[in-house]
Structure 1
Amino acid sequence: MKIISSERIVVSLTLLIASLACSYYNENSYEQINIELAFVDTGELSVTDIGDHISYVPWETTDESLIGKRAYVRMLKDKLFVGSFQQPIKMFDKETGKYIRTVGNIGQGANEYTLLDNIPVFWIDETSEIIYVQTEGNSVLRFDVNGNPLGSINLPENFPRLTTVSQITAENKLYIYKQTLFNKLDNKILMYDIQNKNIEKYFLNKDEPISTDEFSQLPLIISGFGNIPVSTRCMIFSLKGNRMFFHYTENPCLWAFDKNIYFKEQFNDTIYQVLDSKMEPRFVFNLGDMHCAYEDRFNIEESQNKIFIDYILEGKNVLFFVFHTNYYNLQDAKTYWGIYNKKDKSVKVTDKLQIKNPANGYFAGELQTATSEGQLLGLVDAASFIENTNVDNLRDISEDDNPIVIIVE
């Protein structure tokens, strides 16, 4: 990987000024994840590589509980929550899969929310046990673990609209990440303390902004595009000089694990811990010759055969990450899954996009999210599950049923 010079990163007591490349910190201050070596010998991933136990939960399928397309799942205590195309958020029992109720509803009244690209956007503060739902303007709805309304919070006028950023909430603190492509001196991460109503800013951008005269055409907006299953949409910008870039909404670049907040953004090989006064490097991906130089991140030709990491999920003992090569060439792009074992520091990479379960075959569903305790969650459609696995107590499901939830612990 390429470590940028200290001239581009300045650490102060109140703010870290940094670029979008790797940190200048001493190598001993962070762990390296060596994808370069693992990439030479791609193999298969097993359930035992990512956790000690896997559960399959079939959701009850009725007219009332039917789940739409582009579904994504989250978990809070003994409940599972799912958002999907043109559907309100639905709650199911974690153990039985039985449908319980909707969380709020679609609309513009009290305890109702609008849909972004026809998908409800919600996230969960596991510590405070609160479900947050995006709605219009700077208002955010809140519900308890049973789906009961807790009222809304109104974000400050100078706070970015949540429809344009990625966000998480932990311990009543709302963290957001926004791309700073068009403003040289803009903060990438902001934290709003819901109780104290104050704002903290981190990670100041120092890159030259993209000017409007660099665009070769209007941006293309595609719903549900790319390798990020929880993203509601992608904006594809074409620039002059054979350049382009993708902007994803709801990109899971911020996450909570073990009461800490972590961050990794596009084109940056470093995972940071978000602290009160700085961004501390935690892991760095070593991509070797497949590292894309920061200055070439929008260059179609120079980014060929380079690795771009799409998103990361943190389990109790592992990091699960999705990446692909030929980022801007959709015909030649190839997706990979990877595992980094935090205990023995080993790395495994596969291009098969499936995780084998020796007990019953394999599952090919996407892992979508992780809890702050390190449980990994994903979905697989019923037809694929029936075809590729052999679980005796789940054989009564049909191809038209709701998806199967996968929980790896």
Structure 2
Amino acid sequence: MKKTIILGGLILLLGSCAPQNNAGHPDAIDIAASLEHPTELKLSQLGKEIRYIPLETTDSSLIGNSYSIKLSKDHIFVSTNGRCLSFDKQTGKYLGSIGHKGEDPQGYSNANCFIHPRTNHLYFYRQPDNLVKYDAKGNYLGQASLPQNISPTLYFTFADSLILAHYGEGIGQPQASALLYFNEQGEVKDSLPEFANPGDPMGMDQISSINVFKQLPGNAGIGGLIYINYQNGTMTALPIDQPSLWQSNGSIRFRKTFNDTIYDIKGHEATVHTTFHTGQWHFPAEKMGQKEDTDNYIVVTTILETPKRLFFISLQGLYNKKKPFYGIYDKEKQVTYMNDANKGLADDLTHFMPFYPTACTEEGEYATLLEIGKIDEWMDKNPGVVQEGKLSFLQEINEDSNPVCAIVEP
């Protein structure tokens, strides 16, 4: 498989998680200019309609305080409490649990699923070197093997009959971040070593403490970071559930952690798709890992891309300040809108509570879960809400109910 990296005059930095400042790229998403003129972000900037789907509450379908969600054509999958729960996308009816966590032949180690865009099969990581496969109805379909040199921090997607994996940073692991093609028998077919991350990380014996920052305001879900503090005063930040590989418009997108460049992996080529321009807030590569004098620098942490829009989370002050911003890039208008992430997206479609996106689909949907406690808090502050039409679901829920899935449609 021939591999060509087309950089369009840009420099591909091979340093560990080093951001790039690509202001001159014609398709750059201009964070610097957008932050000079913040604006209220609205649901209508993501889509035309919103649906609220109360997820059925049974003894078998209870959703815990920590969760992540993914959508397929007909299903809502919620990974929580070591299980992957399946709900009907239209009605919210509980359809059952997909597989289970365990060490038996059909068990997996992590309940977060990866969905094949063509077959809708679900893949789950199983230590140390397998993926467990199920269909959307929960039928076990066997295992796929991982090459031995892939770390458990991998993120992957699917390229026809092959799996394309990004493996890299982990606690106490070599930072050999790279893209690797392999089949379900675990046979490596090719790789893109141009994206390798040379260098040795700190050893486990050099770690002084580890803590977690749940970056996303409003709800649990995407956007968290694991902070590893070392005895020499430096720090490493690792993302939690922030895709580095995703599908968009028939292409595969790739972005390394905190990097300003999104690559388009199409066929055998990797080309620059777009970049983030952070201007005066650009995080210099040589200062990554340093806590001092880095509070004003900005990194992009999370991206959710649909055909017409690109939603992203950026963080100012990666190590200390930790001030998150939401951004929406309108591809057709080539305009970027940004604001304080704590405000969420104002619901100008149904005039309900703020929206905090946590998942998206290739079809253009954005989704999140609305926790009952958050709904109650908002209702207390906004009495007199008419519980009819799209908000009639409010009559169906109570304090013991599962969260409500909100889906913004294009």
**TM-score in terms of structure 1 length:** 0.84
What do residues 339-395 of structure 1 show as CA deviations (whole Å, max 9, x unaligned)? 000000111111143211224324335322222223222112022234437552112
Indicate the residue corresponding to 1:401 in structure 2. 401
Aligned to 1:34: 30
Q: Percent identity?
A: 24
Q: 1:193-208 counterparts in 2 under 5 A? A: 193-194=183-184, 197-205=187-195
Alignment partner, residue 104 of structure 2:
109
What residue is the counterpart of 1:229 in the other structure? 221
CA positional deviation for 1:134: 1.3
Deviations 1:37-90 (A, max 9, x none): 110122211111111221111101111111112111111221111101x24111
Distance 2:267 2:294 in 1: 35
State whether residues 50 and 349 of structure 2, in contact with CA within 8 Å, keep that contact through their aligned partners in structure 1: no
CA distance in 1 between counterparts of 2:127 and 2:186 reads: 23
Shift of 1:252: 1.1
What secondary structure does 1:367 align onto? coil
Q: Which residue of 2 aligns with 1:370?
A: 360
Give structure 1 stretches of 5+ with no counterpart.
Answer: 1-11
Preserved CA contact (<8 Å) 1:386 1:395 = no
Distance in 1, Cα, partners of 2:267 & 2:299: 29
Shift of 1:220: 3.6
Deviation at 1:219, TM superposition (A): 5.6
Equivalence for 1:22: 20
- 1:254 equivalenced with 2:250 (yes/no): no
One-letter code aligned to 1:89: C
Contact 1:165 1:250 survives alignment (8 Å): no
**Does the 8 A contact of 1:126 with 1:170 survive in 2?**
no
Structure 2 segments unaligned to the other structure (5+ residues) = 6-11, 380-384
1:62 aligns with 2:58: yes
- Cα displacement (A) at 1:268: 1.5
Aligned to 2:118: 127
Map 1:319-338 → 2, pairs under 5 A: 319-329=310-320, 332-338=321-327
Deviation at 1:231, TM superposition (A): 7.2
How far off its partner does 1:293 sit? Answer: 1.3
Deviation at 1:223, TM superposition (A): 5.9
Name 2:71's counterpart in structure 1. Answer: 75
- After TM superposition, the structure 1 = structure 2 runs for residues 6-405 of structure 1, keeping only pairs within 5 Å, are 14=3, 16=5, 18-19=13-14, 20-22=18-20, 27-28=25-26, 31-84=27-80, 86-115=81-110, 120-157=111-148, 159-161=149-151, 163-179=152-168, 186-194=176-184, 197-205=187-195, 209-210=199-200, 212=202, 217-218=206-207, 220-222=209-211, 225-227=214-216, 229-230=221-222, 234-238=226-230, 240=232, 242-329=233-320, 332-351=321-340, 352-388=342-378, 390=385, 391-392=387-388, 393-396=392-395, 397-405=397-405
Q: 1:114 to 1:124 in 2, by over 3 A?
A: same
Name the structure 1 match of 2:9: none
| Partner AA of 1:338 in structure 2 | G
Shift of 1:404: 1.2
Paired amino acid for 1:34: D
Whole-angstrom distance in 2 between the partners of 1:216 and 1:109: 33
Contact 2:21 2:278 survives alignment (8 Å): no
Q: Residues 75-122 of structure 1: CA distance to partner in whole angstroms, max 9, x if unpaired?
A: 1221111101x241111111110111111122222322234xxxx221
Q: Distance in 2 between matches of 1:173 and 1:406?
A: 33
One-letter amino acid of the counterpart of residue 248, structure 1? P
Mean Cα displacement is larger for which, 43-52 or 376-385? 376-385
Q: Distance in 1 between matches of 2:252 and 2:277?
A: 22
Shift in alpha-carbon separation, 1:95–1:305, aligned structure 2, 3 A: same
Task: Specify whether residues 223 and 130 from structure 1 end up closer, same or farther in structure 2 by C-alpha distance, changes over 3 A only.
Answer: farther
